[in-house]
Amino acid sequence: MMERECVVLVWRYFTSCAVFSNLMCVSVSDLFLCCLCVADLREIVFVIQSQSNSFHMSWAERQRADLLQQTQSLTQTPPPVLLLHSLTDNEGDWSILPLLPYLSSLFGKNSSWLVFLEEETNVKVTKLLQALRKFDRRKEWFLGKPLHDEESTIIHHYAFAENPSIFKYPDFSAAWALSIPLLDRLANKVRDDPLKSDFTIDLKHEVALYIWENGHGPRLTAVPELCTEPEHSPTAQHCATTLRRPAPLCGEPVKKEDIFVAVKTCKKFHSERVPVVKKTWEREASLLEYYSDHTDPSIPTIDLGVPNTERGHCGKTFAILERYISDAVPKTSWLLVVDDDTLISLPRLQMLLSCYNPSEPVCLGERYGYGLGQGGYSYITGGGGMVFSRAAVVRLLASDCKCYRDDAPDDMVLGMCLNALGLPVTHSSLFHQARPEDYSRDFLAHQVPISFHKHWNIDPVAVFNRWLKDESVSTSPHGLNKSTKEEL
| pLDDT for residue 23 is more than 80 | no
Residues making up the chain, counted from first to last: 488
The answer to whether residue 190 scores a pLDDT higher than 50 is: yes
Cα first-last separation, the chain = 44
- 471, pLDDT greater than 80: no
* The pLDDT of residue 74 is above 50: yes
Q: Which residue has the higher pLDDT, 429 or 12?
A: 429
pLDDT at 434 over 90: yes
Confidence band, pLDDT 50/70/90 cuts, at residue 375: confident
* Whole-Å CA distances, 12 to 9, 26, 69, 365: 5, 12, 16, 48
Strand 287-292 to 301-303 pairing: parallel
The amino acid present at 59, given as its one-letter code, is: W
**Whole-prediction pTM:** 0.90
Residue 186 in this model has a pLDDT that exceeds 90: yes
With cut-offs at 50, 70 and 90, classify the pLDDT of residue 59.
Answer: very high
Query: CA 113 to CA 46: how far, in whole Å?
Result: 9
482, pLDDT greater than 90: no
Q: What is the mean pLDDT of residues 56-71?
A: 95
Cβ–Cβ under 8 Å, residues 423 and 402: no
The per-residue pLDDT for 2 is 44
Q: What percent of the chain has pLDDT over 70?
A: 88
Q: Return mean pLDDT, the chain.
A: 89
Answer whether residue 192 shows pLDDT above 50.
Answer: yes
Parallel, antiparallel, or unpaired: how do β-strands 367-370 and 199-200 relate? antiparallel
- Give 198-202 contacts, CB < 8 A, sequence gap 24+: 198/370, 198/371, 199/368, 199/369, 199/370, 200/95, 200/368, 200/369, 200/370, 200/372, 201/155, 201/156, 201/368, 201/433, 202/155, 202/156
**What's the average model confidence in pLDDT over 263-272?**
96
Q: pLDDT by residue (tens digit) across 354-369? A: 999 999 999 999 999 9
pLDDT band at 296 (very low <50, low <70, confident <90, very high): very high
The CA R_g of the chain, rounded to the nearest whole Å, is 24
Report, as an integer, the average pLDDT of 1-14.
47
Task: Please check the confidence at residue 7 and state whether its pLDDT lies above 50.
Answer: no
Q: How many CB atoms lie within 10 A of CB 272?
A: 12
Residue 400 confidence class, pLDDT cut points 50, 70, 90: confident
**What pLDDT shows up at residue 250?**
87
The residue type found at 144 is G
Split at pLDDT 50, 70, 90, the class of 478 is very low
Q: How many CB atoms lie within 10 A of CB 99?
A: 20
pLDDT of residue 63: 96
Q: What is the largest CA-CA distance in the chain?
A: 80
